[in-house]
Structure 1
Amino acid sequence: MSEFTRRTALRAGLLAVPALAAPPLVAKVGAQQAFDWQRFKGEKVEASLTSNPRSSLLIQHQREFEDLTGIKVGAEQIPEQQHRQKFAIEFASGRPSFDVVGISLHVNKRQVGRAKWCSDIKPMIADASLTAPDFDFADFGAGAVTYSTQADGRMDTLPEFTDYFIMYYNKDLLAAKNIAVPKTFDELYTAAKALTDPAKQQYGFVGRGLRNANVVLWSSFLLGTAQRDTVSADMKLQTDTPDAIWATQMYQKMMRECAPPGSVGFNWNECQTTFMQGRAAFWIDGVGFAAPLEDKTRSRVAGKVGYAVVPAGPAHHHCALFGTAFGISEQSRRKGAAWYYLQWASGKANQLRYLTSGAGAPARSSPFSNEEAISSSRFPREFFTTLSESARIARPGLPEIVPVTEFRDTIGTAITNTIGGADPAAELKRATDAFRPVLEQSERAT
């Protein structure tokens, strides 16, 4: 069995602590009840994952799982949009090629739950012969567990990670003009305006402008209003209200007056590159994109990045919350082996890796109390404090509906048009009128 040493951990950019090592788990279970990590030795599970830093970490360390269990893993990671399309098509065919699938709950939760594509894992958690004694289900945050639970009570995914939108800022740019970290969106706009100097290719803000991708930034502004939600509790669309118009006007000002040319086509990766080059003072996006910013071989701002919670709006202070989880295909013939993989993938070791490598906020609580890991991380303490503070003010950044992609496409087109100068109220009304029948038809089919 391979040994996870301090040298290995340092190469991975992580802290080596006892909780990270897989081998001790084997020693613990030797004579424990009926549970046996080697129970499904010789089987192979296929895992379909979304391309992101967390999936890369799991694939990088999957040999650890294979040595622990004797189960082989065939894992692939696919770009986000293509992955969602692929697994939906395969599930609908009734013959998915995978046993384990990564799910973006903020996009596919209701779709997956309504079709019952994934198995209820509650019975597996309760089965002492299938669940490791130190799995510690209580370690998962209540919000993450709720996110993984369907309205009918089935828990058809196991939480992986909670993505909070935070505000990154360039400490040097703010210090040069003696500008304080903004506490409100109005303060953010004022600061970003003051830090925008096109002649120096320096901009006060960078954010997602691309249709569909931009909705999660726009909803970050909306969460600060009295309305907060894009769909009401009785499933009525509310995307052309005064609060929605305010959020769009704020988005429009930030993107038109403070962002670099071409940002109308920016997704997170273009925003990340711009910020890494030192050409933007502020960037609001997910916590999972932090790692490259602190990479001195790639980033001009390494060691100069500040982290803060998203500013407050006129009525509330919330940040957008998104989440991912792992599901087991209902059609899988290797559910036992797949459940073992889920326990490892969302186990304490990998969850700590997520946190200390900057790959995202873990769904478990224990990593945040690992003082040794936090103090030895390449990330400043401010990063971890920001995550903890964000957890307290987080709310879902997208509505829990089936046609989430259509929602993002339709509303996102309207938002994108405002970057070109279109009137926010007119664009939102047009988009709302276009999407309302889509939502109503989806609800009738529920």
Structure 2
Amino acid sequence: MVRSITRRRALQGVALGGLAAPMLNTVTAYAQSGAFNWQRFKGQTVEVLMETGPRADLMKKYQKEFLDQTGIKLGIEVIPEQQARQKVAIELNSGKPSFDLFNFAFHVQKRQFEKAGWLLEITDWLKDPQMMPAEYELGDVSKLGMSFATTSDGKVNALPILCDYFMVYYNKELFAKKGVAFPKTLDEMMAAAAALNDRSAGISGFVGRGVRNANVVLWTQLLSGWGQETVTGKPLRLITDTPDAIASAEYYKKLLSSYGPAGIAGFNWNEAQGLFMQGKAAMWIDATGFAAPVEDKTKSRVVGKVGYGVPPSGPKGHGSVTFGTGMAIPKNAARKEAAYYTMLWMTGPKMAGRMLQVGGGIPFRTAPLKDPAVLSTLTVPREWADCAAGCAPISMPGLPVIVPVTEFRDVIGTALTNLLGGADPATEMKRATAEFKPVLDKSEAS
């Protein structure tokens, strides 16, 4: 259900706070009197590159609806995530992209795209009544979502499509058998993992990412309990060897080593998810987007037994690390305006609600999470949506927005994996910080 609001109200939200000066107005050639018109660029074909996943599935499913609404045809290419990232970077760098619109992970490629100047700035269009329909409700897009889509100098060059909050998946049946309450603090979570861990029955008190690179986001989730991120200042500098960073690494080591399954140093999200779906793990912390398979009766043994909880608070903070995905238009795209209309449709309230309904991710919007028409047709439990709504106010970046983010994950991730083999947290975090510091310094200097 889409609520109509005035354009003035839509533009009053925090999303437009501090927008930069206008960009070069490429709409002039299409100028016409009157309000927004979805048919304004009919007859054009927009080439879209999408990563494999629920968003691509939804775009393909409803492309006929979009054609009827706008007169714009879509050519949709869907390829796996890593291939898509490589293709996007190569073609944007060439200056002759084969696509007019694409989706990407803010935490992986935002800084790279910004520094290269590859994306079309859309700041002006968001304030133009002929290019921004009131029903888009820009003011409903979260502050975090718009911060992801905004460059360091205040220009908007993307629109947020969905976010993944980190939440706790827990097995209610195992908790009930042991009389354990859902933990509200990290101390309580450690105690719960100890109480629920039963090696004789093959039950792990906790499961999560232990493998190098992937494990960093679980650690940053725990680090949020100490009220800290991984970088600070301008230019950015590492703070991954502070007393709080080391304390969170010690917590990570104990939780996974003492109460995780054998071989957890090799676990990524899929191995952790598999163990949880077999009913062999009491708790699992990971992203919201994994609810659909957990609740799939053909794949999961814990359907109807799963609880969804906001991550516990720590001694100094309370956060839910968040990862965002957006859509953007190449600066050299052939059909910029029609691509922008496509982006409005894909990131708007209606498609956001559909994405939520299938458990494909949480939109950077609040209205769908409160819309009875959307919530009544969820294919996952309502508790999942309620938990996501609870994560939103405490959301925070889960990775530093830097160009060498993959190297960061590799270096810090190696230290975390070493902890699971018995290494000392202080020694490893200091070593990893010293190793990555010159990489970050060089990147920031350039």
TM-score surpassing 0.5? yes
1:320 touches 1:396 (CA, 8 Å); kept in 2?
Answer: yes
Q: 1:229 maps to what in 2?
A: 229
Give the fraction of aligned pairs with identical amino acids, expressed as a percent. Answer: 49
Tell me how far 1:327 sits from its aligned partner: 0.5
- Could you tell me which amino acid in structure 1 is paired with residue 91 of structure 2? E
What secondary structure does 1:55 align onto? helix
- Looking at structure 2, the residues matched to 269 and 58 of structure 1 have their Cα atoms a distance apart, in angstroms, of 25
What secondary structure does 2:225 align onto? coil
Tell me how far 1:275 sits from its aligned partner: 1.4
1:322 touches 1:396 (CA, 8 Å); kept in 2?
Answer: yes
- Looking at structure 2, the residues matched to 311 and 215 of structure 1 have their Cα atoms a distance apart, in angstroms, of 18
- Looking at structure 1, the residues matched to 82 and 253 of structure 2 have their Cα atoms a distance apart, in angstroms, of 25
Q: 1:78 maps to what in 2?
A: 79
Q: Which stretch of structure 1 is more off in the superposition, 348-357 or 62-71?
A: 62-71
User: Structure 1, residues 243-294: CA drift from partner, whole Å, max 9, x if none?
Assistant: 1111111111222222223332222222222211211111111111111111
Q: Which stretch of structure 1 is more off in the superposition, 434-443 or 393-402?
A: 393-402
User: Structure 1, residues 47-69: CA drift from partner, whole Å, max 9, x if none?
Assistant: 22233333332333223223322
Q: 1:128 maps to what in 2?
A: 129
Tell me how far 1:133 sits from its aligned partner: 4.2
Instruction: Give yes or no for the alignment of 1:309 onto 2:310.
Output: yes
- Looking at structure 1, the residues matched to 79 and 417 of structure 2 have their Cα atoms a distance apart, in angstroms, of 26
Aligned pairs for 1:142-157 (under 5 A) are 142-157=143-158
Q: 1:243 maps to what in 2?
A: 244
1:119 touches 1:330 (CA, 8 Å); kept in 2?
Answer: yes
- Could you tell me which amino acid in structure 1 is paired with residue 192 of structure 2? A
Q: 1:168 maps to what in 2?
A: 169
Q: 2:16 maps to what in 1?
A: none
Structure 2 vs 1, CA of residues 425 and 83 (structure 1 numbering), >3 Å: closer, same or farther? farther
Tell me how far 1:331 sits from its aligned partner: 0.9
Tell me how far 1:143 sits from its aligned partner: 2.1
- Looking at structure 2, the residues matched to 62 and 309 of structure 1 have their Cα atoms a distance apart, in angstroms, of 35
Aligned pairs for 1:86-165 (under 5 A) are 86-165=87-166
Aligned pairs for 1:11-410 (under 5 A) are 18-19=1-2, 33=34, 35-226=36-227, 228-234=228-234, 235-410=236-411
- Looking at structure 1, the residues matched to 210 and 45 of structure 2 have their Cα atoms a distance apart, in angstroms, of 42
What secondary structure does 1:205 align onto? coil
- Could you tell me which amino acid in structure 2 is paired with residue 348 of structure 1? P
Q: Which stretch of structure 1 is more off in the superposition, 370-379 or 92-101?
A: 370-379
Q: 1:436 maps to what in 2?
A: 437
Tell me how far 1:441 sits from its aligned partner: 0.4
1:158 touches 1:326 (CA, 8 Å); kept in 2?
Answer: yes
Tell me how far 1:106 sits from its aligned partner: 1.7
Tell me how far 1:322 sits from its aligned partner: 1.6
User: Structure 1, residues 365-407: CA drift from partner, whole Å, max 9, x if none?
Assistant: 2102202322442433322221122111111111122211111
2:279 touches 2:301 (CA, 8 Å); kept in 1?
Answer: yes
- Could you tell me which amino acid in structure 1 is paired with residue 232 of structure 2? S
Q: 2:30 maps to what in 1?
A: none
Tell me how far 1:43 sits from its aligned partner: 2.2
1:53 touches 1:288 (CA, 8 Å); kept in 2?
Answer: no
- Looking at structure 2, the residues matched to 276 and 61 of structure 1 have their Cα atoms a distance apart, in angstroms, of 31
- Could you tell me which amino acid in structure 1 is paired with residue 161 of structure 2? E
Tell me how far 1:420 sits from its aligned partner: 1.8
- Could you tell me which amino acid in structure 1 is paired with residue 243 of structure 2? P
Query: What is the root-mean-square deviation in Å for CA atoms of aligned residues?
Result: 1.9
Which structure 2 residue ranges, 5 or more long, are not aligned? 4-32
What secondary structure does 1:180 align onto? coil
Structure 2 vs 1, CA of residues 78 and 217 (structure 1 numbering), >3 Å: closer, same or farther? farther
Structure 2 vs 1, CA of residues 238 and 285 (structure 1 numbering), >3 Å: closer, same or farther? same
2:231 touches 2:239 (CA, 8 Å); kept in 1?
Answer: yes
- Looking at structure 2, the residues matched to 391 and 360 of structure 1 have their Cα atoms a distance apart, in angstroms, of 13
Structure 2 vs 1, CA of residues 55 and 198 (structure 1 numbering), >3 Å: closer, same or farther? farther
- Could you tell me which amino acid in structure 2 is paired with residue 373 of structure 1? V
What secondary structure does 2:238 align onto? coil
Q: 2:6 maps to what in 1?
A: none
- Looking at structure 1, the residues matched to 177 and 170 of structure 2 have their Cα atoms a distance apart, in angstroms, of 13
Structure 2 vs 1, CA of residues 184 and 79 (structure 1 numbering), >3 Å: closer, same or farther? farther
Q: 2:28 maps to what in 1?
A: none
- Looking at structure 1, the residues matched to 52 and 313 of structure 2 have their Cα atoms a distance apart, in angstroms, of 31
Structure 2 vs 1, CA of residues 243 and 79 (structure 1 numbering), >3 Å: closer, same or farther? farther
- Could you tell me which amino acid in structure 2 is paired with residue 271 of structure 1? A
Aligned pairs for 1:415-434 (under 5 A) are 415-434=416-435
What secondary structure does 1:368 align onto? helix
- Looking at structure 2, the residues matched to 83 and 267 of structure 1 have their Cα atoms a distance apart, in angstroms, of 21
